[in-house]
Amino acid sequence: MNDDKLLEIKDLTVSIKQEKEMMPVVNGIDITIPDHSIIGLVGESGCGKSMTAKSINHILPSFAKITSGSMLWHEPSGQVCDLVTLKEKDIRKRCGTDVAMIFQEPMTSLNPLMCIGDQIKEVLMIHKLEKSQDRAKARVIEMLDAVEIPDPAVRYRAYPHELSGGMRQRAMIAMAMIANPKLLIADEPTTALDVTTQAQILDLIKKMCETHSMSALIITHNMGIVSTLCDYVYVMYLGTIMEEALTDELFRNPMHPYTRGLLSSIPRMGDNPEFLETLPGNIPVNKEKFRGCRFCLRCSDDIKKCFFEEAPLHKVSDDHYVRCHVAAGKED
Amino acid sequence: MEKEIILSASHLKKSFRTGKKGLHIGKKGSHTGDNNLVHAVDDVSLEVIKGETLALVGESGCGKSTLARLLMRMINSDEGSIYFEGKEISHLSERKMRPYRKKMQMVFQDPASSLDPRMKIRDIIAEPLIAWNVYDSKAKRDDRILELLNLVDLREDCLDRYPHQFSGGQRQRIGIARAIALNPDLLICDESVSALDVCVQAQILNLLKSLKQQMGLTCLFISHDLAVVSFIADRVVVMKNGRICEMAPASQIYSNPGHEYTKYLLSSVPRIKEYD
């Protein structure tokens, strides 16, 4: 882990409007992204992981709003800037150059009426990174080559529908990388892809992070991806970080019952239990505000305290924090 | 012990015609001769043994769903024959096919679109029972519905609700209840757990496995997820471009894969590192 911070998300709360009331879906979370590292954010659907990612670039849907918190962006010059307070105009300047994003379904995030080369070139022209069209085109072709699209000069003129899912995702990565961003946010980048393509795309993301000395925030529900790609992991449940640790530490010694439940419900190849150990019940519908621990309804070792008081983030070691009364008690 | 073959297929073929134009960039499927013809299923023979779970794995476009549809006679094959419990069913008329329909049921990938949004859960589960006139009185039918709900771990108060009031996992349970209502001999699960979250996926996998034990179900399980398949399958068929690459017991596929493509597939799965 690197000590130089790139982005510090502090106490971020995102709420959505529901029947005239603001309901928090991301609940005061803290995430630190250091330079040159790959951070994982895992959780089940609806836990708020995409909302967190979208709030960084201010692309939240219209019914959602950042209600509190700050996102401190550390410039290489040492300046610190809070992304939350930035105006639309200023955040647009940063989209692509500082923070770039790739999404789950490349077909819906690419423009079907433009050939992929021109779409990628747009990034350079809008940010005025290249004045000459020809030079920009040459850079795009170079980038297409870097993301391992075969025959880049020909593919420059291909439309999204002519490409396979994996090729489209490569084009998305090329678009994200063309302006040399410092942070790449990948929201479920390989969920829509086949397993062999997924392996190639994951390799590519890893390689890109190394060659461009870039950080990445990988949002996924797949623990296998976290294990192979990430340095540090945040586990999210119902809008709160339940546990965070170095990847190896988290898999070796999961402390939170939710993390343990997640890990034991994944079927693993070559290891065939009679039945999978799984968490009982479903994710509660986030209607009423929680007073106690969000997880206590599904937890096997809850104590009375869990129902009334939310656990603070307990420090297990320098690289491991857990939000659980029971786990914290065991340590003491 | 003599193995009883419940369903077998020999030299099945099915091809689809695609549009006249097309760039065929990165297109899957084998193109032989005629450029517009995609051989979705190309000379496939397999046997499903009674009581086993046979998994069909492969990447998207490899023809696994088409093969399942052929076996169920939801679509007709171009060539080859299908035998169900020893009798050929590949050329039966729709009417003669009907008794076999009862014996083969299907659970689909997307539980939201495979349940009628305007029907209550009670009616959804009752529909196959009514269509086959299994019970002569409504009371007996209601008893059976409750029994089915119990089997898939749903509560009784679900009966008068509509599909949209349930979560994805619960909807999949309803889909399973409907599929097993007629005590089918063969259950075909087409990517039935792919759309679910890990915890819910584990619950449904456990449910399928326990149903198999309780009812002696034979299951044809289609999936792209090799880890899921390793948990549930007794035998695995690996498909690529409409052909079978490898067919072997699950333990062998994972410990000692024979085909290069199987090895490639296995090496692509992002694994959780092993820790002591």
From the list A44, A228, A276, the residue facing B270 with the nearest CB is: A228
Q: Which residues contact A122 (CB under 8 A, 6 or more apart)?
A: none
Strands (E), chain B: 5-17, 37-49, 53-57, 79-84, 87-88, 104-107, 186-190, 218-223, 235-240, 243-249
Alpha-carbon distance of A237 to B233, in angstroms, equals 31
Mean pLDDT for chain B overall: 88
Q: Are B195 and B110 in contact (CB under 8 A)?
A: yes
Per-residue DSSP letter, A85:
G
In chain A, the residue whose alpha carbon lies closest to the alpha carbon of B254 is: A270
Q: Are A212 and A146 in contact (CB under 8 A)?
A: no
Query: How many of the other CB atoms lie within 10 Å of CB of A214?
Result: 22
Alpha-carbon distance of A168 to A172, in angstroms, equals 6
Chain B interface, Cβ < 8 Å to A:
23, 25-28, 59-60, 167, 169-170, 197-203, 205-206, 209-210, 224-228, 230-232, 254-255, 264-273, 275
What residues of chain B lie within 8 A of the CB of A189, using their CB? none
Q: What are the pLDDT digits (tens) for B139-169?
A: 999 999 999 999 998 988 889 999 998 888 8
- Closest by alpha carbon to A32, among A259, A187, A244, A314? A244
Q: Could you tell me the CA-to-CA distances from B175 to A205, A216, A252, B105, B107 in Å, in that order?
A: 38, 39, 37, 10, 6
In percent, the amount of chain B with pLDDT more than 70 equals 92
Per-residue pLDDT of chain B (276 residues; tens, 9 = 90+): 568 899 999 999 999 887 655 455 444 444 445 567 788 999 999 999 999 999 999 988 888 889 999 999 999 999 999 999 989 998 899 999 999 999 999 998 888 888 999 999 999 999 999 999 988 899 999 999 999 999 998 988 889 999 998 888 899 999 999 999 999 999 999 989 888 888 889 999 999 999 999 888 999 999 998 999 999 999 999 999 999 999 999 999 999 999 999 999 999 988 887 765
What residues of chain B lie within 8 A of the CB of A277, using their CB? 202
Q: What are the pLDDT digits (tens) for B208-243?
A: 999 999 888 999 999 998 999 999 999 999 999 999
Alpha-carbon distance of A119 to B98, in angstroms, equals 53
Q: What are the pLDDT digits (tens) for B75-84?
A: 999 999 999 9
**Encoded tokens for A26:** 């991301």
What residues of chain A lie within 8 A of the CB of B266, using their CB? 269
Q: Which residues contact B275 (CB under 8 A, 6 or more apart)?
A: A248, A251, A252
What residues of chain A lie within 8 A of the CB of B253, using their CB? none
User: What pLDDT is recorded for position A288?
Assistant: 60
Paired sense of beta strands A80-82 and A64-74, if any: antiparallel
CB contact under 8 A, A221 and B169: no
User: What pLDDT is recorded for position B26?
Assistant: 45
CB contact under 8 A, B270 and A267: no
The complex scores an ipTM of 0.83
User: What pLDDT is recorded for position B167?
Assistant: 85
User: What pLDDT is recorded for position B30?
Assistant: 46
Mutation to test the B interface, candidates A282, A283, A300, most B Cβ within 10 Å:
A282
Q: Which residues contact A69 (CB under 8 A, 6 or more apart)?
A: A9, A10, A11, A12, A13, A28, A84
The Cα of B128 is separated from the nearest Cα of chain A by a number of Å equal to 28
Q: Are B193 and A273 in contact (CB under 8 A)?
A: no
User: What pLDDT is recorded for position A207?
Assistant: 92
Q: Is the dihedral of CA B204, B206, B209, B212 positive or negative?
A: negative
Q: Are A170 and A127 in contact (CB under 8 A)?
A: no
Per-residue DSSP letter, A310:
P
The Cα of B134 is separated from the nearest Cα of chain A by a number of Å equal to 33
Per-residue pLDDT of chain A (332 residues; tens, 9 = 90+): 556 899 999 999 999 988 888 888 898 999 999 999 999 999 988 888 889 999 998 999 999 999 999 999 998 888 899 999 999 889 988 888 999 999 888 788 899 999 999 999 999 999 999 999 999 999 999 999 999 899 999 999 999 999 988 899 999 999 999 999 999 999 999 888 888 889 999 999 999 999 988 999 999 999 999 999 999 999 999 899 999 999 999 999 999 999 999 998 888 887 778 888 888 877 776 556 677 888 888 888 777 888 888 888 999 999 999 999 888 885 44
Which helix (H) or strand (E) segment holds residue A30: the answer is strand A21-34
